[in-house]
A and B are shown apart, each in its own frame.
Chain A
Amino acid sequence: NFMLTQPHSVSASPGTTVTISCSGNSGSIASNYVQWFQQRPGSAPTTVIYDHDQRPSGVPDRFSGSIDTSSMSASLTISGLKPEDEADYYCQSYDRINLWVFGGGTKLTVL
């Protein structure tokens, strides 16, 4: 089964840069696009990155996505951290057998 693994939690201080990883257990993560979603407490998810590294309109360029094909992993990097960035972040990708798969989510705490 295709699975995506994220750290349970990360923390960082305002103004710094944080990177959240998303590791796949097969090459599907490299050959299919990865998306990243932000979910603040009590709210619906919103997309911050789609198609590996594209930002929907309105998402600040402090958010960036990347893929490392050699390690079969994707990363979400948030620079210039703000208190409002505190949220759960989910990665998601596609696999021909398991179809649309989510990571377990990472809780970002802005200290």
Chain B
Amino acid sequence: QVQLVESGGGVVQPGRSLRLSCAASGFTFGSYGMHWVRQAPGKGLEWVAAIWYDGTNKYYGDSVKGRFTISRDNPKSTLYLQMNSLKAEDTAFYYCARDPSGYGFDHWGQGTLVTVSS
């Protein structure tokens, strides 16, 4: 069955960097677009970034553009999110999600918590 497992979250000071990973299994990873979605504590869902199945196209939400970079390693079936210049408002659970059609998400990981605090 489809499994997505995020890792790499933790507590980090403002201005520092962090890299999240999402290990995929149970499907042909290189055939699907992938996304990062976040949720601040007690808030709704916010789309963060997307990457095409082959990594050729990448898209970012306005709040993270220029600071975050999405990437993937298809032979390793792993998705990444490099987060630089972190701000307190980046504090959230970060979920990776699979995209079957380009329009949305059909499977989600369990999430990893990023806390930006001094």
| Interface positions of A (Cβ within 8 A of B) | 32-35, 37, 44-47, 50-51, 56, 90, 92-94, 99-105
> Which of B35, B100, B109 touches A50 (beta carbons < 8 Å)?
B100
Give the CA-CA distance A46 to B95 in the complex, in Å: 11
B75-106 interface code vs A (CB 8 A; 1 in, 0 out): 00000000000000000010100001111111
**Chain B, interface size: which category?**
20 to 34
Main secondary structure of the interface of A (DSSP, over half): strand
Which B residues have a C-beta under 8 Å from some C-beta of A?
A: 35, 37, 44-47, 50, 59, 61, 93, 95, 100-111
Report the number of A-B residue pairs with Cβ-Cβ less than 8 Å: 65
Q: Which B residues touch A35, using CB under 8 A?
A: 103-106
- With beta carbons under 8 angstroms apart, the residue of A32, A37, A44 that contacts B110 is A44
B118 CB to nearest chain A CB (Å): 27
Report yes or no: B95 in contact with A45, Cβ–Cβ below 8 A. yes
Residue of B nearest to A90 (CB): B45
Q: What CA separation (Å) do A61 and B93 show in the bound complex?
A: 30
Chain B residues closer than 8 Å to A56, beta-carbon distance: 106-107
How far, in angstroms, from A20 to B108 measured CA to CA in the complex?
22
User: Would A104 and B44 be within 8 Å (CB), given that A99-B50, A99-B59, A99-B61 are in contact?
Assistant: yes
Q: List 8 A-B contacts (CB under 8 A).
A: A37-B105, A37-B108, A44-B93, A47-B105, A50-B104, A94-B102, A100-B104, A102-B47
CB distance from A67 to the nearest CB of B (A): 12
Asked whether A101 and B47 contact (CB < 8 A) given A33-B103, A44-B111, the answer is yes
In the assembled complex, the CB of A40 is this many whole angstroms from the nearest CB of chain B, namely 12
B95 touches A94 (CB 8 A): no
Task: State whether B103 touches A102 (Cβ < 8 A).
Answer: no
Contacts A50-B104, A93-B104 given: A105-B95 contact, CB under 8 Å?
no
